[in-house]
Amino acid sequence: GGIHCRGGYADAEIHIAKKLDIIADYNYLQKNNDIKESTTHTYTGGLQYWLYKQCRIQTEFSYAKQVDGPASRLWITQFQDAI
């Protein structure tokens, strides 16, 4: 009984300069294995710049597409600092 789901992801980070990285991500999620339309594929790409060891600025674009639904697009920029 119950709802069964499955998913997976892959991440990559490529250093292109001393403090600059290209980031890429792929996610797959099927929220309900009995319903094909519950499947979403998400692709993300972006850049991160390290100000120092535990502080970065990251910007990325994500595109998500459901099997039989609308696509969504999202641009995110964030600042992260560890104290």
CA angle in degrees (0–180, nearest 5) for 39-41-47: 155
| Lowest model confidence (mean pLDDT) among 24-28, 38-42, 71-75 | 38-42
H or E element that contains 62: strand 55-66
Of 50, 48, 46, whose CA–CA distance to 74 is shortest? 46
pTM to 2 decimal places: 0.82
Is the pLDDT confidence value at 70 over 90? no
